[in-house]
Amino acid sequence: MPRAHFGPVPIPTYQPTTSRCSPWLTPLAYFLGRYLVLPFYFQHISVLGQENLPHSGPVILAPTHRARWDSIILPLAAGRVETGRDLRYMVTSDEVKGIQGWFIRRLGGFPVNVRSPSISSLRHGIDLLQQGEMLVIFPEGGIFRDRVVHRLKPGLARLAVQAEALPPALGVKVVPVSIHYTSPYPRWRDRVTVKIGTPLEVSHYLQAGTNSDRLKASAKQLTEDLSTALKALSGEAIPSSPETVDSGDEG
């Protein structure tokens, strides 16, 4: 009968998540996308609200997700030509495979398991914000072609709130972005409209203290306000609060 071993409980180790922007591949990809691929495929790309883009400090771009073209459109709207910075993408782990994964990892992308996010992925996202990077997270979590803003996943707001709650205060901003294509499945010579909204200041959502309940409440309110901003940018009607609904009984 084997003897029981009573020793120290091993502390789990986590493989750190890393990402980088290749000094030669990233500018080449930006150039090809901006001046060759996008002008050839689309008839016109209109970008509105670029004055809302912060040119410094930690930023999370929160775009609607309507097609795989989104990741190529965003650098045109908010990348190095407009802000002087490269975009860092948080993508699903399923996308970072094969040759596509090779490119994503060298263009500033890093994987996260949306069903069970690892500590290392979340930590890497916070590290990038602490370095003043511009991070892209699609808050809906997937591609939706019905042109309706779907319920937002809580991860973006939780990451933003946790990063802002760490000392020193970073001044994290979340920028809502709406992407609209002429067709649900973008076709050759379609038109694209990108609308960039007013940044949400994460510090305004932090409640006194940093315990888990307060952080969750802060993240929940940020998620709700981001959803409202995305719906407004996308042209969706925003339901009135119960206090302001017109009952139609007056007069």
Please indicate, yes or no, if residue 4 is contained in any of the structural domains: no
Report whether pLDDT(3) > 80.
no
Please indicate, yes or no, if residue 247 is contained in any of the structural domains: no
Tokens of 190: 């379609």
- pTM of the predicted model as reported, rounded to 2 decimal places: 0.87
The C-alpha angle 130, 149, 49, rounded to 5 degrees, equals: 60
Question: Which pLDDT tens digit goes with each residue over 51-83?
Answer: 999 999 999 999 999 999 999 999 999 999 999
Query: Residue 51 carries which DSSP code?
Result: G
CATH of the domain at 85: 3.40.1130.10
Report whether pLDDT(99) > 50.
yes
Report whether pLDDT(153) > 80.
yes
Q: Cβ distance 54 to 171 under 8 Å?
A: no
**Pairwise CA distance, residues 196 & 48, whole Å:** 6
Residue 217: per-residue pLDDT: 94
**Pairwise CA distance, residues 64 & 20, whole Å:** 24
Please indicate, yes or no, if residue 98 is contained in any of the structural domains: yes
**Pairwise CA distance, residues 123 & 127, whole Å:** 6
Tokens of 25: 């591949």
Question: By residue range, what is the domain housing residue 228?
Answer: 25-234
Please indicate, yes or no, if residue 76 is contained in any of the structural domains: yes
Question: Which pLDDT tens digit goes with each residue over 120-130?
Answer: 778 999 999 99
Please indicate, yes or no, if residue 61 is contained in any of the structural domains: yes
Please indicate, yes or no, if residue 248 is contained in any of the structural domains: no
191: which residues sit within 8 A by CB, 6+ positions away?
42, 43, 44, 45, 46, 181, 182
Tokens of 187: 């076709």
Report whether pLDDT(225) > 60.
yes
**DSSP secondary structure string, 188-245?**
TT-EEEEEE-PPEEGGGGPPSS--HHHHHHHHHHHHHHHHHHHHHHTTPPPPPPGGG-
The C-alpha angle 139, 140, 146, rounded to 5 degrees, equals: 145
> What's the chain's average pLDDT?
86
Domain count, the chain: 1
Amino acid occupying residue 8: P
